[in-house]
Chain A
Amino acid sequence: MFTGFMSNTWIVATLVGVVAGMVGFFVVLRRAAFAAHVLPLGAFPGAAAASVLGVSELAGIGVFCGLGVLGISQLQRWDRREVATALWLAVALALGTLFLSMTSEYSQGVYALLFGEVLGVSSHALAPVAVSSAVAIGMTALLFRPLLLDSLSPELAEAAGAPSRRLELAFLTVLALATAMTLPVVGALMVFSLMVGPASAARLLTDRPRVALALTIGLALATVWGSIALSYLTDWPVGFFIGALAALSYAGGRMRAARQAR
């Protein structure tokens, strides 16, 4: 389980856990759960397009993540946030079905892309993942205080020289980066669980933002490590364990909060 090709997986999983936890913390804070679900799912057509064009999968995913950021933020100027998000998803997935219909023999690939693949990490994928996680972590650290302030009150952030719209764009960009690197490992449909589950549990366990952030990263790491180990042992899909473990940690958080309130 810890030898040979699996060692890549463990390295990547650790990076994924840290980044997903960090970004997830702000996803929950900014009520961006829907966007966190839609960006990865809307990026998966990129992988299909890449396979049609014969280019690198990661590049395809990256391009569609970028398009997603632009699409959502542009549509948001028009309409409610969640309608904009839903519409982007529809458009992206429509393109995805089109690309899928152009390639044959791809359905197994689709499954891995949607629900994750433990063995999906090759050595030459390590470098891009490491770089993008470094960028994502750096950007989150840089944006930590403005984002916190903006979640508290957009007016306060504006007064401090950080306009909401620009912050939203920056945030979506970080989310997209985190998505692009997380997606091949845990799958387009499960990136979101890994971001939302640990963060929503941590928020119930502590009131202090830094502690909550640390707790989120810890829970995300536990979730992703546990899922990969369980998936390796049972041969069941990673996605199933991620969904289940994320729900477990949230339920645990709720129960502890309920006991404290009593």
Chain B
Amino acid sequence: MHLLELIVPPGFLANGPVHTALIVGAGAAVVSAIVGVFTVMRGQSFAGHALADVSSAGGSAAFLLGLNPLLGFLGVAALAAGGMEWADVRDARERDLVTGVMLGVGLGLTALLLYLGTIRGSTSGAAIAILFGSMFTIPASLIPLALTVAGVALVAIAAIYRPLLLSSLSADLAQAQGARVRRMGLVHALALALAVSLAAMTVGAILSTALLIGPAAAALRFADRPGRALGWAVAIGWAATWGGILLAYDSFYWTPGHGWPVSFFIVVLIFIGYLLAGLAGRRPARQGLERPA
């Protein structure tokens, strides 16, 4: 019993902000992990990260206008995702560049909006809150919206599950089989936008990439079928998030009066998970990596 109290300190489960963080964090972790598996498989890690960064412009705008921050993140992320799919750049290099240029514009806007926010007399802590997240300050009133966003993203992914798998094998193959590839791409981009903005809310725009890519990359190192990859990614992301919240709460006792950031622990746990997964996963034959012949 004492050991348990050492790990889960008294008051942890009765604490309101902790409750909210646990619920919203779990939602963000699950959705990011599932969407992330497809993002990594489709080679869109950069796009996923860019979307998160760009969405911070929405977060700052919401902050400036006093709107619900999740709506701000969401609106801009959805807009950017739609735009990226609409541009429909097939060539991987050009797609990277378009993503990059858009990322620059989004971050520039973020800079401007944050600046305008500070001259309006608000605290300059907004930059840190928006970019790095602040899990323990999420209002409880945000829970229903956050869970709805998570639910919609999961339904969207479930709807396009099979064509997504097929097209990550080969886009030509999916198209030849009559899959509506463009519509599928759009739905995936929107699911990505939902996942990213939810994660941006919780761990911050800049670190949401960790939730998106980390668990997925870890699961893909050893899972050999799609269901297991999704399951493991969810398990790793979820465990890291709750573990991170717990450790951050504990850290108030380690260094009195000053807690360590949640995002730090979450990322560290995810990275440990990734390294362990790499050790657990059988290394594919070297020739398989270079040239299957």
Contacts and interface: CB of A to CB of B under 8 A. Distances in A.
A48 to B, nearest CB: 11
Interface in A99-151: 100-102, 107-108, 110-111, 114-116
Given A101-B260, A240-B109, A91 B267 contact: yes
B96 A189 contact: no
A91 B214 CA distance: 10
Interface string B106-117: 111111101100
Interface string A219-252: 0000000000000000011011111101100100
B92 interface: yes
Contact of B103 (A37, A108, A110): A37
A246 B105 CA distance: 8
Mostly, the B contact residues are helix
A240 B108 contact: yes
B251 to A, nearest CB: 10
A200 B97 contact: yes
A242 B104 contact: yes
A86 B97 CA distance: 17
B45 interface: yes
Q: DSSP class of A's interface residues: helix, strand, loop or mixed?
A: helix
Contact of A101 (B111, B221, B261): B261
7 contacts: A90-B214, A91-B268, A98-B261, A100-B132, A101-B258, A108-B124, A197-B100
Interface of A: 28, 31, 33-34, 36-37, 41, 78-80, 82-83, 85-87, 89-91, 93-98, 100-102, 107-108, 110-111, 114-116, 187, 189-190, 192-193, 196-197, 200, 236-237, 239-244, 246-247, 250
Given A80-B45, A240-B111, 5 more contacts: A37-B49, A82-B46, A94-B264, A101-B261, A237-B115
Interface of B: 40, 43, 45-46, 48-50, 53, 92-93, 96-97, 99-112, 114-115, 118, 123-125, 127-128, 131-132, 204, 206-207, 209-210, 213-214, 217, 221, 258-261, 263-264, 266-268, 270-271, 274, 278
